[in-house]
Amino acid sequence: MSTLGNHPFVKMNGLGNRIVVVDMRQKPLAISADEARAAAGPDGAPFDQMMALYPAKTPGTDAFVRIYNTDGSEAGACGNGTRCIASLVAKETGKSKMTFETAAGLLDSWPNADGRFTVDMGVPKFAWNEVPLADEFQDTRAIALQIGPIDKPILHSPSVMSMGNPHAIFWVDDVNAYDLSRIGPMLENHPIFPERANISLAQVVSKEHLIVRTWERGAGLTLACGSAACAAAVSAARTRRTGRTVTVTLPGGDLVIEWREKDNHVLMTGPVAYEYEGRFDPKLFAASDAA
Ligand SMILES: N[C@H](CCC[C@H](N)C(=O)O)C(=O)O
């Protein structure tokens, strides 16, 4: 029997980033990549990320979370999804601060008076082997990577970092001037990124405002990617393009990102939207059952 057949789910979104939450805390069975892919299909609950809640491992945390992309691969962090699960757990427990554990570490989240949620995404990592990159680069604020003709590249010199998952940020004058659905997959799978990468275009509007579009590793074009907004904000501050607090406009709306001075933690604040609840049709998983 598949793990997800007939299992309940909650469909939510964070700025249009399609999030499905499955609660495995009572029956903590593993979800295979095949099952996650089937669940993301048109007859399932199409998602960019599925957040699976498991019993807490570290004392004091609310749940261990596994994050699946559309293609069945797993991610260490998902900012928009973390706001969604925080709002569900806040409703369930009445708590004013939650802590979730993922493969990438601990993430705190709390509601604001205006209904938005903040996630403490932790400390960004800049060393080449932490991103990770395949080759040693001393300075990751701009690495030698380009696509297009050698003497007239289409995109070049991205800032790279890890925000719990790998990100490359290309600085451009107009995020809409590029065919990201064509360029994105080439860069996501470029050999410089041994674990692939989330690929973003970022446009500096002012010292307090960025516009960002992202091709997500394992999920493709999305309306919003929280960790990419954080990576763009931190990279912008790190290269003196902006200050440490910025509004990031994504196709789905705005996030406020603060790269806190006192401890270098990155705080992301944005909305949560509940859509509907359902159960996965067991027929979706017939193939993975047979395997
Ligand atoms: N949408 C997510 C990020 C998913 C990252 C995923 N695509 C990966 O790194 O594999 C966010 O709001 O942060």
Ligand 1 centroid – CA 225 distance (Å): 6
Domain positions in the chain are 7-113+273-285, 128-270
Please pick, among 78, 131, 169, 175, the residue that the annotation labels catalytic. 78
Q: Which two tokens stand for residue 15?
A: 């700025």
ipTM: 0.96
Q: What is the pLDDT of residue 1?
A: 64
Q: Which two tokens stand for residue 259?
A: 């790269």
Model confidence at 37: pLDDT above 70? yes
CATH class, 128-270 region:
alpha beta
What is the pLDDT of the chain when averaged over all its residues? 96
Residue % of the chain over a pLDDT of 90: 97
Mean pLDDT of 49-68: 98
Segment 150-204, tens digit of pLDDT? 999 999 999 999 999 999 999 999 999 999 999 999 999 999 999 999 999 999 9
User: Minimal CA–CA distance to 167: which of 136, 138, 137, 130?
Assistant: 130
Rounded to whole angstroms, how far apart are CA atoms 170 and 173?
A: 10
C-alpha distances in Å from residue 167, one per residue of 28, 124, 193: 30, 11, 9
* Identical fold between 7-113+273-285 and 128-270: yes
Mean pLDDT of 260-273: 98
Of the residues 12, 19, 49, 222, which should be mutated to test ligand 1's pocket, given the most ligand atoms within 8 Å of the CB? 49
According to the annotation, is 66 in a ligand binding site? no
Give catalytic status of residue 78 as yes or no.
yes
Ligand 1 centroid – CA 216 distance (Å): 6
Bridge partners (DSSP) listed for residue 46: none
Mean pLDDT of 104-124: 97
According to the annotation, is 17 in a ligand binding site? yes
Mean pLDDT of 74-101: 97
Segment 135-150, tens digit of pLDDT? 999 999 999 999 999 9
Model confidence at 114: pLDDT above 80? yes
Q: What is the pLDDT of residue 287?
A: 76
Model confidence at 67: pLDDT above 80? yes
The ligand 1 atom at the shortest distance from the C-alpha of residue 167 is 9
Burial code (b: 16+ CB inside 10 Å, e: under 16) for 172-208 equals beebeebebeebbeebbebebbeebbbbbbbbbeeee
Q: Which two tokens stand for residue 223?
A: 């309306």
Specify the residue for token string 């939450």.
Answer: 21
Q: Which CATH number fits domain 7-113+273-285: 3.40.710.10, 2.60.260.20, 3.10.310.10, 3.40.50.620?
A: 3.10.310.10
Segment (H or E) for 199? strand 198-206
Task: Give me the half-sphere count of Cα atoms (radius 13 Å) on the Cβ side of residue 194.
Answer: 9
3-state DSSP helix/strand/coil percent for the chain, to nearest 5?
20, 35, 45
Segment 268-290, tens digit of pLDDT? 999 999 999 999 999 999 876 66
Q: What is the pLDDT of residue 125?
A: 98
Model confidence at 44: pLDDT above 90? yes
